[in-house]
Amino acid sequence: MADKKNFKIFGCNDLFSFEKKQKFLKKVLTFLFSIKVEGLENLKKAGDKALIIPNHTSYLDGLLVALFVNKKITFSVTDRLADKWWIKFFTSLMDSRFLDPDNPLSIKTMVNELNNNKTCMIFTLSNMFGGNSQMKIYEPAALMAQKSGAKVVPVQILGLERSAYSRFRRKFFFKLFPKVKIIFKEPISFDDDKSLTFKEARIKSTSKLHDVLADLKFEAKDCNKTLLSATIDTMKLVGGRKEMLEDASRKPMNFREIFLKSFIIGRYLKRRAPKQEKIGVVLPTSAACTLSLLGLHAYGKIPAMLNFTTSPMQVLSTCETANLKYVVTAHKVVEVAHLESLIDEIKAKGIEIIYLEDMKTDLTIFDKIVGVLAMLFPKTMYKITAPYVKPDDPAVVLFTSGSEGKPKGVMLSHKNILANIYQLTTKFDIIENDVMLNCLPMFHSFGFTAGTFTPLVLGFKLAAYTSPLHYKAIPGFCSSMQATIFFATDTFLANYAKFANPYDFNSIRILAAGAEKVKPETKRIWLEKFGVRILEGYGATECAPIIAVNNYLYNKPGSVGRLMTGMQYKLKEIPGIKEGKELILKGPNVMCGYLDSKNSSGLIQPEDGWYDTGDIVEVDEDGYVFLKGRSKRFAKIAGEMVSLLAVEIIIQREFPGFINAIVAIPDDKKGEQLVLITNCPDITKEKLLNIFDGREITKLAIPKEILFMEEPPVLSTGKFDYILAKNLVIKKFGL
């Protein structure tokens, strides 16, 4: 414990009593910051023995909270902070003492303070300065509350995050005296359950506090804005000259250059398609695609992201679903990706193709002036170019993968996507020095939200790479960009590991995988070869897309993590399925609805906001989600429901490193039969019988046929293409 240090201000420290100083400061700061306080009655509910934990966004937080508590508070800060001048100034005006929350003896002292009916407040060094150890606050604080029996009072402070007193390291545009709101939340009890061991009780209380503070952090985020306005606000924080975007062409762009070019592109596209609200986009993951998306948003257009790697029939189907009249692409993309026939078929449907290269000859001097004005005054220009766009308006049309049927058009609002981005910040410590490596296609929901807009909205660099299929090139690109955050799928990660040098992924500190089950073999290779742990997650396009994810603080093997902050769930029983129930979700990131031209509103909206995922899951007592399969991926064999995913997992464990997929086809005797599609030449029916022998799974689950394919069908997103595979099997067996 460190003693309080004297810090007299103009010799005034001894002239006034604690009460007079507090009353004077409260009046001055209330006037300057127009402070409004809500929920003080919640502090009274907690009683004298209370532990206050604010969402720490500025260096004034402790002072402001203390002024309205109207009692002496024991502050818990580290010794390093105790030496800072603003802390000395703060403590000269308040009656306080220092405790190091990272020191076990200090925690004991704090518990004693609480047991003596003292009100305490805690914020640690890691919470104050951000970084990888930000979440270290939870365990000491939970332990203090549990051992003392004190109630925790979460406090939400709004308004100071973008002030001159913010913790953000680089503040280029800020308010000196912003309006401040302080909200004291309902007190939370941490009962000391005697039936639990010390370790179990500590884990349980820490998890509870983590969820409370995660909710607090998420609630403090402003989702009531558009993606472009959120990006503009971020530029004001990090500065227009911060390098934000670079692709495989290796021409980095800062924020000002991004706004200059995106507004010029947006103005050109609006001129070409003045009345069309939705515009199709056929562009790979690149700076050009990112600028086009921002440009469309700048002029109130809605990009419809087309999966140009799929069949022409599916692309035309998605164009029809979105009622597209214009599609944006580039001559170079068409040439390199060999899309000539696809473009011809799109044209044949009466859809006009807009090539970005043609813009160079069509630009006017006024277009360039608008671009310069947008570079200097992006917020003002955005209000002029798209004054009618609201946060609840659609931001993008994304199409489901189509791995199990016809792709659906999913309409996501600006608020949906922003909510998912901010939900991600409650799972991971993301800082401005991070670099996002995004090679997932932008027509994929992970590539759009997590890979592209997360760095733009949160203010860290985006390194975009054209295609996830360049297995030899991407590891080197990652190394040269010193990427720290990487989202991918199991298929892609397994292939990168084959060709990468052990040093290529040395800089990665957050690696999350979704879209398909991560194989144990993939996790093992990445940990052994690169020293990087894969954090498995789960998402759906309809949820913008992240639903759950493991992180370094909460990670349970076999699970896909816990639900994102702010999401609710229900479980529905499915007849015939014994293990698991169907997951139904509600939350701020759940879609506006599916596109449907037959509906009067043009959308099929989730009933009362609840989205039926179609996934069969189990949720344990700690909130971890375990995927058991898709409701569509169950076969009814001789009256018994069999999970195709469960069969795939069993086979994959015995034959790692290969693609092993199960499809169900009609059977005259038993209703359905299973067929294994694999690129492993060693699998035989005899081996399958031996693998399933003695396992707690019905013998009906053993595949009756094996179809060997050197290159099994895989979608551009990395998912196995079950529709094409099933058609191939039916054709093979003449059904």
Task: Check whether 696 has a pLDDT greater than 70.
Answer: no
Residue 548 CA to residue 538 CA, distance in Å, equals: 5
pLDDT of residue 3: 46
| Beta bridge pairs of residue 38 | 183
Tens of pLDDT, residues 434-466: 999 999 999 989 999 999 999 999 999 999 999
pTM above 0.85, yes or no: no
Position 674 confidence tier, pLDDT thresholds 50, 70, 90: confident
Digit-coded pLDDT (tens) for 552-569: 888 999 899 999 999 999
Q: Which residues contact 100 (CB under 8 A, 6 or more apart)?
A: 1, 2, 76, 77, 78, 79, 106
In this predicted model, what pLDDT tens digit does every residue of 12-33 receive, in sequence order?
A: 445 556 667 677 888 888 888 8
Q: Which pLDDT score is estimated for 347? A: 94
- The type of residue at 172 is F
Torsional sign, CA 673, 678, 681, 682: negative
Mean pLDDT in residue range 300-328: 91
Give catalytic residues, as residue numbers. 56
- Report the pLDDT averaged over residues 729-734: 77
Q: What would the DSSP string read from start to end of 529-585?
A: HH---EEEEEE-GGGSSEEEE--SSS--TTS--EEPTT-EEEEE--TT--S-EEEEE
How distant, in Å, are the alpha carbons of 130, 208, 541 from that of 549? 21, 17, 15
Cβ partners under 8 Å of residue 696, min gap 6: none
What's the pLDDT band for 6 if we cut at 50, 70, 90? very low
Structure tokens at 399: 């199409």
Least confident segment among 97-101, 283-287, 383-387 = 97-101
What percent of the chain has pLDDT above 90? 40
Residues 6+ positions from 667 with CB-CB distance below 8 Å: 637, 673
Query: What average pLDDT score do residues 231-241 get?
Result: 90
Average pLDDT, the chain: 84
Helices (H), 578-698: 644-654, 685-692
In whole angstroms, what is the distance from residue 522 CA to residue 489 CA? Answer: 10
pLDDT value at position 102? Answer: 57
Extended beta strands in 201-334, E state: 243-246, 253-254, 278-281, 302-305, 326-329
- N residues, the chain: 735
Beta bridge partners of 251: none
Rounded CA separation 595/320 (Å): 10
Specify the pLDDT at position 400: 82
Cα dihedral value 640, 641, 645, 651, nearest 10: 0
The residues, any chain, with a CB within 8 Å of residue 371's CB and separated by 6 or more, are 260, 261, 263, 264, 267
Identity of the residue numbered 417? I
Please identify which residue in the block is written with the tokens 């609006």: 270
Q: What is the pLDDT of residues 167-210, one digit of tens each?
A: 655 555 567 788 888 888 888 887 766 677 767 777 777 788 88
Comparing 482 with 116, the larger pLDDT belongs to 482
Q: Does position 528 have pLDDT exceeding 80, yes or no? A: yes
pLDDT of residue 373: 96
Angle among Cα 661, 666, 671 to the nearest 5 degrees reads: 110
What is the arithmetic mean of pLDDT over 269-284?
Answer: 93
Please name the amino acid found at residue 671: G
Copy the structure tokens of residue 53: 């934990």
* Exposed / middle / buried, residue 521 (Cβ in 10 Å: 0-12, 13-18, 19+): middle
Residues in a beta bridge with 413:
394
* Beta carbons of 635 and 647 less than 8 angstroms apart: no
Alpha-carbon torsion, ordered 390, 394, 395, 401, to 10 deg: 160
Domains along the sequence of the chain with CATH: 18-219 (3.40.1130.10), 638-732 (3.30.300.30)
* Contact partners, residue 235, CB within 8 Å, separation at least 6: 242, 255, 256, 259, 378, 459
> Model confidence over 94-126: pLDDT tens digits?
555 555 655 667 677 778 878 888 888 876 544
Please answer whether residues 564 and 548 qualify as being in contact, where contact means their C-beta atoms are separated by less than 8 angstroms.
yes
Does the pLDDT of residue 48 top 60, yes or no? Answer: yes
Amino acid identity, residue 89?
F
Long-range Cβ pairs for the range 629-633 (8 Å, 24+): 629/580, 630/404, 631/574, 631/577, 631/582, 632/404, 632/405, 633/404, 633/722
